[in-house]
Structure 1
Amino acid sequence: MSLTFSTDEVRDLAVAWLALGLAFTLLLEPSLRLLDFGRLSIEAVLRTLFVSLATVGVGFLLHELAHKVVAVRFGQVAAFRADYRMLGFALVGALVGFLFAAPGAVVHRGRISARENGIIALAGPVTNLALAVVFLVPFVAALLTGVGGVLWDLARRGLQINLFLAGFNMLPFGPLDGRKVRAWSTPVFVVVAVPSILLAVGALFLLPF
């Protein structure tokens, strides 16, 4: 089965990506959120938006696309569906300084085993861990050289958000990936979830927003 995207799916991916980027920008730029125009810097807002789209947005997009690629590999009909209500909630929450983002998910159908379902679920967090490694290289380079600016923001935010996405999604609750992985294989769940969750907690405390 080939990997294809409908017009509706491309729209949903684009809207979710942009909404997440905007929500994180509102969260990280208090002057914009509070309409404090005296302290508002358009340059700072655009920089934060760019960094958010390139880190939070990309981390989310590749997480969901990894689910889809593996699902299609197993013969599933799979597509991303945005949750517009939750996207609206994320934007409203960001306006008051709180963000809980559940922008949507890849839904798939077809005959499938518990193993295949677990591997599909595992693909998302593993992709975020791989992205964290990618961002780790410029992060370490920036630390060693003292480079700041956009490069530092991209490296720090990319590392942080991808570790958080991996750890959060490996929690074995509700619709999260960890529950499906655990239903397939407890040893695999433990091997991936424990370090992912610990790294996510470390990222949140050592690399504050």
Structure 2
Amino acid sequence: MLETSNDEVRDLIISFIVLSICFSIATAGFNVKAFISNLPIVMVGVALGSLLHELGQRYVAMKYGCHAEFKLWPLGLVIAFVTSFFGVVFASPGTTKISEDNLTDDIYGKISVAGPMANIVLALVFIIIAALIYPLKVHSDIFHLLYLICTVGFSVNSFLATFNLFPIYSLDGTKVMKWSVGVWIVTIAIAGIMMLISISIGPENMVQLLMGV
């Protein structure tokens, strides 16, 4: 059973709201109208990404008899907010604390990699759905909105996976590297390629390539 404390729920909600605002600012810049339009679209990708990241780590922690809880890092949110005005979000809103003492690097690494892996899988699901509804988006506003949500969700989750795998401070990448450098290289390579595709050619062009358009 996934037990969640009131403090953790509060921290997750604050993290979700701030990250949604940050990613919307990063894409819209100082255009208030674009920011307002982008915000609800961005929120879906951030919400699902944050939730699955946490649930992935929580599930693996439970398999090893550990309790995992998300703890907010206020300074990380401030950094994310400030950097968003430069078009990039250094998203480190908090970290998942493991209650078990004397936890081995092996177990800690497996728990940590589950979060970015959840973001990678979610990003792929988003881009696949976007490709499937691409032919329908011109016929319906609803499909067009879903298409936008999916393409943005791909970008957001690719970035979240890549950033969390950086081997700095208390990010997941530090624990994954201590467990297995090979696993870290493979996962950050996959996430990094997805993020670079999102930045360089854009998810919409990626969908068109997948569809052969």
Identify the residue that residue 67 of structure 2 maps to in structure 1.
Answer: 77
Q: 1:107 aligns with which of 94, 97, 108?
A: 97
**1:153 is the counterpart of 2:148:** yes
Tell me if the contact between 1:167 and 1:198 (Cα under 8 Å) persists in the aligned partners: no
Return the letter of the residue paired with 1:4: E
Q: Give the Cα separation in 1 of the matches to 2:170 and 2:147.
A: 34
Shift of 1:180: 1.8
Q: Specify the alignment match of 2:81 in structure 1.
A: 91
Q: Which residue of 1 aligns with 2:210?
A: none
- Deviation of the 1:45 alpha carbon: 4.6
1:16 aligned onto 2:15: yes
Between the two proteins, the alignment pairs up a number of residues equal to 198
CA distance in 2, matches of 1:97, 1:167: 16
Deviation for aligned residue 1:12? 0.7
Give the Å deviation of 1:154: 0.6
User: Which residue in 2 is equivalent to 1:204?
Assistant: 199
- Candidates 127, 130, 145, aligned match of 1:136: 127
Choose from 103, 106, 111 the match for 1:120: 111
The residue number in structure 2 matching 1:50 is: 40
Q: Is the 8 A contact 1:64 1:105 kept in 2?
A: no
8 Å contact from structure 2 (residues 117, 161) kept in 1: yes
Aligned equivalents of 1:192, 1:83: Cα separation in 2: 24
The secondary structure found in structure 1 opposite 2:118 is helix
Does structure 2 conserve the Cα–Cα contact (< 8 Å) formed by 1:172 and 1:179? yes
Q: CA RMSD in A?
A: 2.5
Given the two structures, how large is their TM-score scaled by the length of structure 2?
0.80
Alpha-carbon separation, structure 2, partners of 1:53 and 1:172:
27
Gaps of 5+ in 1: 33-39
CA distance 1:12–1:114, change in 2 (3 Å): same
Deviation at 1:66, TM superposition (A): 1.8
Partner secondary structure for residue 31 of structure 2: helix
Q: Distance in 2 between matches of 1:96 and 1:186?
A: 31
> Which sections of structure 2, spanning at least 5 residues, go unmatched?
205-213
For residues 85 and 174 of structure 2, the distance between their equivalents in structure 1, rounded to whole angstroms, comes to 31
Contact 2:26/2:85 (8 A) holds in 1: yes
Aligned counterparts of 2:90 and 2:185: Cα–Cα separation in 1: 25
How far off its partner does 1:199 sit? 2.1
82-91 vs 156-165, which moves further: 82-91
Please give the secondary structure, in 1, of the residue aligned with 2:154. Answer: helix
Between the aligned partners of 2:193 and 2:25, the Cα distance in structure 1 is 27
Distance 1:73 1:165 in 2: 24
